[in-house]
Amino acid sequence: MQGSVQKWTAYTSISKVTKENQWIDINKEDRENNNKASIDGKLTELVTSIVTFTDERKWSQFDMPRNLILGLVTEVGELAELLVWDGDITDVKKLWNSQDHQVNKVAQEIADICIYILKLANALNMVDDLENTISEGLFLV
């Protein structure tokens, strides 16, 4: 097992993020001007689509925080099950053929996890807070 220094070195070589520069370089001009990134309601729009989908199927009655957390944990477990014996991979498409059904399953599990997180934020009435926190967090140093 690698120690933390080796893991950081491996992470840095893959991500190009260094200890001196720990932000994601989404928009270099914004970063240089010290402007905060903004996702401008896109998260709220996505949550609205998810809620509409859920309401149409009459599943909203089950969207209580406890149920959503348990569903989230289940989805994380399903993702872990797909990757458990594959070691430290950086690109699932290099591990499996890009046409392989397994790549689609990994993408679906990640999508399910994101949906549960957004449904949880909605159930806790925190979508705006989450949106602001994500926008602010993109440029934390």
Long-range (24+ apart) CB contacts under 8 A made by 15-24 are 22/140, 22/141, 23/138, 23/139, 23/140, 23/141, 24/138
User: Greater confidence, 28 or 127?
Assistant: 127
Task: Tell me: do 62 and 128 sit in the same domain.
Answer: yes
Range of the domain at 108: 37-137
Residues 107 and 51 in one domain: yes
Q: Are 120 and 97 in the same domain?
A: yes
Domain CATH code at residue 85 = 1.10.287.1080
Q: Which has the higher per-residue pLDDT, 134 or 1?
A: 134
Please check whether residues 70 and 80 belong to one and the same domain.
Answer: yes
Residue 58 sits in the same domain as residue 87: yes
Note the pLDDT of residue 31.
46
The pLDDT tens digits of the residues spanning 5-27 come to 554 455 555 555 555 555 444 44
Q: Which of 62, 43, 8, 34 is nearest to 133 (CA)?
A: 43
pLDDT at 87: 65
Are 27 and 87 part of one and the same domain?
Answer: no
CB 123 within 8 A of CB 63: yes
What six digits make up the tokens of 65?
Answer: 């925080």
Q: Are residues 9 and 71 in the same domain?
A: no
**Is 71 found in the same domain as 18?**
no
Give yes or no: residues 85 and 95 share one domain: yes
Residues 59 and 96 in one domain: yes
Same domain, 43 and 105: yes
Note whether 31 and 41 are same-domain residues. no
Write the pLDDT tens digit of every residue in 52-111. 999 999 999 999 999 999 999 999 999 998 888 766 666 666 666 655 677 788 889 999
Q: Judge whether residue 3 has pLDDT over 80.
A: no
The tally of domains found in the chain comes to 2
